Amino acid sequence: MQLLQEFFRQNYDLTMLILICLAIFFAFYIAGILVARYLVTFIGRVVSKSRIDLDQHLLNAFEMPLRTLFVVLGVYYTLCYLDLPAQYDVVLVKILRSFIVLVIAWGIYRLAGTKAFLTEELVDRMEMDQILVPLISKVIQIAIIALSVILIANEWDYDVNGFIAGLGLGGLAFALAAQDMLANLFGGIVIVMEKPFSLGDWVYTPSVEGTVEDISFRSTRFRTFAQALVTVPNSTLAREAITNWSRMGKRRLDFHLRLSVKSTADQMKTVVKSIEEMLRDHPGIHPETIMVYLETIHPGSLDVFVYCFTSTTVWDEYLAVREDVNFKIMEILDAAGVSMAFPSQNLVVENL
């Protein structure tokens, strides 16, 4: 104990210097914790009053960067108190400015995360598909990193113009080497932005027909009706005509009834009128467009044209409506005493 007291007496100045430096550092450290915590609370109250829809991710985005900033400030002012040689002051200032840039970039980087407010707000305001969220997030984060590197390089007196020119040449070389990848990427962006189909849609293209199972920025996967999984590059889909059967508001039902030529005019009028009334009263038939006409008189049949739409576009429900319509038409024909025409040929023998 006496040795320790003797040491402090002999090194009083050094001891006080160390204690003051530690006090400065811990003061900034504690201040960083308090400022970050209460600043987040203050922002939360302001946000709640201004009716801006922000989640906790935004409020916490700058909490850790703020704490880190105060730690850096603590180290800086501690070193300033040590009264270092003048040539180190410039270096310390550059280091401090570089850390400030890094801390701000860190906070904005966290704001641009996949599930953060900045990205979600941008997607919502521009009415983009949620599939774009990861891409937009990465683009913003890469831009933040690139800008931070440029600012720090400029702070340390590096040739920023040469650096930017190098990035441009490097980007051009990359674009030439990755033409197919970029074509698929931009094709994916076009598909997501224009939304010609969504997950679960029944789609037909010259390349494939089936249900959309997955949409990425490189390719789109379809499940065909044979249950095969087909992957089509987005660049191919972007160049092709796409028919989206799932976006039909209604589904067409049309056919010809070939009835016997032995049917009378009154019987045909009864059949046509009854079929039309049946379709108008059917709950599965859309009432907007219903056409039933005796269209053509052939030597072997009387052709009745039936044209309408089902209210449903689902395949199995459509088939159920069509089946029910067919059964009701059979009942109408039986009630009118009209039979279907069958393929026949008349053979005339002139000489036996």
Average pLDDT, the chain: 76
pLDDT tens digits along 139-153: 777 888 888 888 888
Tell me what the mean pLDDT of segment 32-59 comes to: 58
Residues 238 and 256 in one domain: no
Domain membership flag for residue 321: yes
**pLDDT for residue 249 is more than 50:** yes
Residues 152 and 235 in one domain: no
Element (H, E) at 254: strand 251-259
Residues 42 and 166 in one domain: yes
Tell me what the mean pLDDT of segment 255-262 comes to: 91
pTM above 0.75, yes or no: no
The residue among 314 and 131 whose pLDDT is bigger is: 314
pLDDT tens digits along 57-86: 556 677 777 777 777 777 777 676 666 666
Residues 240 and 286 in one domain: no
Domain membership flag for residue 81: yes
Domain membership flag for residue 140: yes
What lies within 8 Å, CB to CB, of 78 at 6+ separation is 21, 24, 25
Q: Are 106 and 63 in contact (CB under 8 A)?
A: no
User: Which structural domain, as residue segments, surrounds residue 223?
Assistant: 196-246
Residue spans of alpha helices (H) in the chain: 2-10, 12-50, 56-60, 63-81, 87-111, 117-125, 132-155, 160-177, 179-194, 234-239, 265-281, 315-336
Domain membership flag for residue 266: yes
Residues 16 and 99 in one domain: yes
Residues 277 and 311 in one domain: yes
Domain membership flag for residue 105: yes
pLDDT tens digits along 230-247: 998 888 888 888 888 888
**In which band, very low, low, confident or very high, does the pLDDT at 164 lie, cut at 50, 70 and 90?**
low
**pLDDT for residue 273 is more than 70:** yes
Residues 66 and 134 in one domain: yes
Residues 137 and 15 in one domain: yes
Rounded Cα gap, residues 261 and 296, in angstroms: 11
Residues 53 and 111 in one domain: yes
What lies within 8 Å, CB to CB, of 317 at 6+ separation is 284, 310
CATH number, residue 331: 3.30.70.100
**pLDDT for residue 335 is more than 50:** yes
Domain membership flag for residue 129: yes
Residue 150 structure tokens: 């440029």
Count of domains observed in the chain: 3
Three-state secondary-structure class, residue 223: strand
**pLDDT for residue 333 is more than 80:** yes
**pLDDT for residue 51 is more than 50:** no
Lowest mean pLDDT among 1-15, 110-124, 159-173: 1-15
DSSP secondary structure letters along 112-167: TSTTSHHHHHHHHHTT--TTHHHHHHHHHHHHHHHHHHHHHHHHTT--HHHHHHHH
CATH number, residue 233: 2.30.30.60
DSSP code, position 340: B
Residues 115 and 44 in one domain: yes
Give the end of a domain, one of 205, 230, 246: 246
Lowest mean pLDDT among 5-19, 85-99, 179-193: 5-19
Residues 51 and 158 in one domain: yes
Domain membership flag for residue 344: no
Residue 29's pLDDT is 66
pLDDT exceeding 70 applies to what percent of the chain?
Answer: 61
Residues 154 and 24 in one domain: yes
Q: Hunting for tokens 């190098």 — which residue is that? A: 166
What lies within 8 Å, CB to CB, of 285 at 6+ separation is 253, 279, 308, 309, 310, 311, 321, 325
Domain membership flag for residue 314: yes
